[in-house]
Amino acid sequence: MENEEEAKPRRQRHQSSNAEILITQPELYPPSMCPEPTPDPDEPNLTESKPALKHTQIFKALEVVERDSLAIAESFTSLFASLRLALSEVTSSSVDHMNCFGDAAGRLQESVLDAATKGNRYINSCLRLNEEMKGIDSLAAQLKVLRRNVDALDTAVNRLLRFP
């Protein structure tokens, strides 16, 4: 028959980020855990050894399919748990980023409003100064006339004082 080492299931290990998944490769003739059919002494032995062998092979194949189905189900369970964890982490991270973005946008809005207020004050100060500077032209003209008069007076006083 087969060597005992060859009869053991061959296994491959696959490592994911959160769980270790065991994948079983089916054997051609795994050992059966089902009881062997026992012939009934009252019935005549109409079956040959070949049909009994076929039933045994079918039970063994069903056992392998059942074992592999369980392994696949466990793999899917592990995969979905990993996906659920990753989705939870991503969602949490997204919420944190949105909160951070909201805080930054709020601070930026405050800074923009403050800068706009200061800019408006500066513009209003410039407009007031401009209005005040409009009257300075007439003042400058008056100062020119006054200067000429002072110069004329100074010249007249100097002539009177030099007149001996």
Does some domain include residue 42? Answer: no
Q: What is the DSSP string of 9-57?
A: PEEEEEE-SS-EEEEEEPPSSPPP-SPPPPPPTTS-----HHHHHHHHH
Does some domain include residue 44? Answer: no
Tell me the residue range of the domain where 61 lies. 1-34+49-159
CA distance 82 to 77: 9
Please report the pLDDT score of residue 38 as a whole number. Answer: 55
Does some domain include residue 73? Answer: yes
pTM for the model stands at 0.40
Burial class (CB in 10 A: 0-12, 13-18, 19+), 79: middle
CA distance 30 to 18: 31
Does some domain include residue 82? Answer: yes
Please report the pLDDT score of residue 51 as a whole number. Answer: 66
Residue 144, pLDDT > 90, answer yes
State the total domains in the chain: 1
Residue 11 — pLDDT band, cuts 50, 70, 90? very low
Does some domain include residue 10? Answer: yes
Does some domain include residue 40? Answer: no
